[in-house]
Amino acid sequence: MPPRHSALAHAAYHDLLRSLRDEGLRDLRGTPTRVERNGRGYWYDSFRVGSEVRKRYIGEDGPDLAARMEALRQDRAPAEQRRRERSRLVRLLRAEGFLGLDPTSGSLMAALSAAGVFRLGGTVVGTHAFRLYEGELNLRLSLEQTAQTDDLDIASFERLSLALEDAAAPPVQQVLADFDFAPAPSLEPGRAWRWRQTQGNALVEFLTPAFGEEGLRDLPALGVQAQALHHLNYLIAEPILAAIPYRSGVLVQVPRPERFAIHKLIVADRRRSDDRMKSAKDRAQAAFLIATLVQDRPDDLAEALEDARSRGPRWRDRIEASLSRMPDTAAQLASL
- Say what the pLDDT of residue 143 is: 65
Q: What is the DSSP letter of 77?
A: -
For residue 118, give the amino acid letter.
Answer: F
How big is the CA angle at 67 (ends 63 and 70), to the nearest 5 degrees? 155
Mean pLDDT computed over every residue of the chain: 88
- Say what the pLDDT of residue 153 is: 94
pLDDT tens digits, 274-295: 688 888 889 999 999 999 999 9
Query: From residue 49, how far is each of 52, 53, 214, 224, 235 by CA, in Å?
Result: 5, 6, 40, 26, 38
- Say what the pLDDT of residue 56 is: 84
The ranges assigned to domains in the chain are 80-255, 258-334
pTM confidence score:
0.88
- Say what the pLDDT of residue 93 is: 96
CB atoms within 10 A of CB 221: 26
Residue pair 278/271 in contact by the 8 Å Cβ criterion: yes
- Say what the pLDDT of residue 226 is: 94
pLDDT tens digits, 182-227: 998 877 777 889 999 988 778 999 999 998 888 899 998 898 999 9
Residues in the chain with pLDDT < 70? 76, 143-150, 161-163, 272-274
